[in-house]
């Protein structure tokens, strides 16, 4: 409709000619004149828009979660309908995510009116997922978990160790998390405390996750090579049809072993090695030291070296707070001088390799805080750092052909990256990192 409405009124008026009175029924004696009047009326469309704009003027509010806040408290603070909240939480996804709010989370709410009723709610679950709740005509709410796939880009890094793996990784442009993951892949073959040598080098191909042109974080490592004391180790990531992933050597052996060399998170420091004739620091006499001691900050997480069952958890003489785990093949491992235990791990608990069982401390007969770790086979102590560890399960034969298709191009890329970096290093002795196919000097 037009911006204005024109009402035209046509009045037929009978004006007498020569001031003579009109004779009823004698139209011929009258001049009929049309009088047009213009009246501005309100535009109906504009009126509708005005009503709509009043509804839309109730803008979306953003609610930030503070420490200790619950969804109910947030609704009450912001004068939002508690009944609407309960209706939203009737949906499984909403209940799953909105009852696990964290400080710093943000919830967007669009009110339905000025009485606290809600039209819609949205909550960013993570970088890829947004939960939305929308009001239906009957007052109930429907929810949807909207997935927005991230842009996955492939990148690489290469570094040569001068002081430590961590510093070399930083110089190669790697994030802390990526450096730790790289060490985690090879930790069964390389002791990153004692085995690292100057000029050891690494090459890693990994994913970067981007959203709207912005890099969010690094993703999975796809392949890596680590050369330690002249010996090279390769690892290829392979994911099966069920989404289960693992790292394998080029010949299909699992990079994992049934046991970890060092059952402590982060980079440990060996303070005392396995030694049958060690001078005891407290008793001041020669006594066998049938384990390895790892120093570190108080409450550093101590992890299970392998899958097994907890057969002891408690105080044990000079060991202080101690955990003993029974593994397959008549192998037991012992973890002593713990400051405290993981409350979820008790006598009889089943634990998985890498699961936290306690925290580094100084209980029992000690001179300083550390972990004392023992590895026993049929009750006989073995050096945890040198004992031959049982292998984990290799790549299933049914996946061999698929693994070959994944492995071959990645090994080629690793070789090309390493050669390019070696050539660059011969020129100016700096590491190279960047997107695959493009050299970016650091």
One domain, residues 231 and 180 = yes
The tens digit of pLDDT for each residue in 380-401 reads 999 998 898 888 889 999 999 9
pLDDT of residue 316: 96
Q: What is the CATH number of the domain that holds 300?
A: 2.70.70.10
Residue numbers of the domain that contains 47 = 5-51
Please check the confidence at residue 50 and state whether its pLDDT lies above 50. no
Its pTM stands at 0.65
One domain, residues 279 and 347 = yes
Highest mean pLDDT among 213-217, 277-281, 433-437: 213-217
Q: Indicate whether 440 belongs to any domain.
A: no
Please check the confidence at residue 197 and state whether its pLDDT lies above 80. yes
HEC string of the chain? CCCCEEEEEEEEEEEEHHHCCCCCCCHHHEEEEEEEEEEEECCHHHHHHHHHHHHHCCCCEEEECCCCCCHHHHHHHCCCCHHHHHHHHCCHHHHHHHCCCCCCCEEEEEECCCCCCEEEEEEECCCCEEEEEEECCCCCEEEEEEECCCEEEEEEEEEECCCCHHHHHHHCCCCHHHHHHHHHHHCCCCCCCCCCCCCCEEEEEEEEEEECCEEEEEEEEEEEEEEECCEEEEEEEEECCCCCEEEECCCCCECCECCCCCCECCCCEEEECCEEEEECCCCCCEEEECCEEEECCCCCEEECCCCEEEEEEEECHHHCEEEEEECCCCEEEEEEEEEEECCCCCCCCEECCCCEEEEEECCCCCCCCEEEEEEEECCEEECCCCCCCCECCCCCHHHHHHHHHHHHHHHHHHHHHHHHHHHHHHHHCCCEEEECCCCEEC
Q: Indicate whether 236 belongs to any domain.
A: yes
Please tell me the total count of domains within the chain: 4
Please check the confidence at residue 150 and state whether its pLDDT lies above 60. yes
Query: In the chain, what percentage of residues exceed pLDDT 90?
Result: 63
Q: What is the CATH number of the domain that holds 109?
A: 3.10.450.350
The tens digit of pLDDT for each residue in 63-94 reads 999 998 999 999 999 999 999 999 999 999 99
The domain boundary, picked from 126, 147, 168, lies at 147
The domain boundary, picked from 147, 164, 192, lies at 147
Which pLDDT band, with edges at 50, 70 and 90, does 113 fall under? Answer: confident
Compare 366 and 10 and report the one with higher pLDDT: 366
The tens digit of pLDDT for each residue in 306-342 reads 999 999 999 999 999 999 999 987 999 999 999 999 9
The domain boundary, picked from 103, 126, 147, lies at 147
Please check the confidence at residue 417 and state whether its pLDDT lies above 90. yes
Please check the confidence at residue 379 and state whether its pLDDT lies above 70. yes
One domain, residues 280 and 347 = yes
One domain, residues 96 and 196 = no
Q: Across all residues in the chain, what is the average pLDDT?
A: 84
Mean pLDDT of 343-365: 96
pLDDT of residue 269: 82
């Amino acid at each position: 409709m037009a911006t204005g409405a024109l009402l035209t009124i046509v009045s037929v008026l009978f004006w007498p000619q020569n001031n003579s009175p009109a004779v009823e029924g004698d139209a011929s004696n009258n001049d009929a004149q049309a009088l047009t009047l213009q009246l501005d009326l309100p535009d109906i469309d504009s009126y509708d828009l005005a009503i709509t704009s009043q509804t839309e003027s109730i803008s979306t509010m953003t609610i930030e979660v503070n420490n200790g806040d619950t969804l109910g408290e947030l609704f009450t603070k912001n004068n939002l309908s508690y009944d609407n909240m309960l209706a939203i939480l009737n949906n499984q996804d909403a209940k799953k995510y909105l009852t696990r709010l964290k400080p710093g989370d943000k919830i967007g709410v669009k009110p339905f009116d000025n009485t606290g009723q809600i039209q819609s709610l949205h909550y960013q679950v993570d970088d890829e997922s947004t939960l939305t709740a929308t009001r239906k005509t009957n007052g109930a709410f429907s929810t949807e978990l909207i997935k927005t796939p991230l842009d996955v880009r492939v990148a690489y890094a290469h570094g040569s160790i001068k002081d430590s793996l961590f510093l070399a990784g930083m110089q190669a442009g790697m994030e802390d998390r990526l450096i730790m993951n790289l060490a985690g892949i090879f930790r069964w073959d390389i002791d990153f405390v004692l085995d690292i040598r100057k000029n050891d080098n690494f090459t890693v191909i990994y994913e970067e996750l981007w959203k709207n042109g912005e890099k969010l974080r690094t993703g999975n490592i796809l392949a890596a090579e680590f050369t330690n004391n002249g010996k090279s180790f390769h690892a290829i990531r392979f994911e099966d049809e069920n989404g289960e992933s693992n790292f394998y050597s080029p010949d299909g052996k699992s990079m994992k072993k049934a046991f970890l060399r060092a059952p402590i998170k982060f980079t440990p420091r060996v303070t005392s090695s396995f030694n049958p004739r060690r001078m005891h620091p407290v008793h001041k006499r020669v006594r066998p030291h049938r384990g390895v001691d790892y120093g570190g900050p108080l409450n550093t997480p101590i992890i299970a070296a392998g899958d097994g069952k907890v057969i002891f958890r408690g105080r044990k003489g000079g060991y202080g707070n101690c955990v003993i785990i029974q593994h397959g093949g008549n192998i037991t491992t012992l973890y002593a001088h713990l400051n405290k235990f993981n409350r979820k791990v008790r006598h009889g608990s089943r634990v998985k390799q890498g699961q936290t069982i306690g925290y580094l401390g100084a209980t029992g007969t000690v001179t300083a805080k550390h972990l004392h770790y023992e590895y026993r086979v049929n009750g006989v102590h073995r050096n945890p750092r040198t004992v031959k560890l049982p292998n984990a399960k290799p790549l299933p034969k049914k996946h061999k052909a698929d693994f070959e298709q994944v492995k071959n191009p990645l090994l080629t890329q690793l070789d090309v990256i390493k050669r390019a970096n070696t050539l660059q290093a011969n020129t100016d002795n700096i590491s190279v990192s960047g997107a695959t196919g493009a050299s970016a000097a650091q």
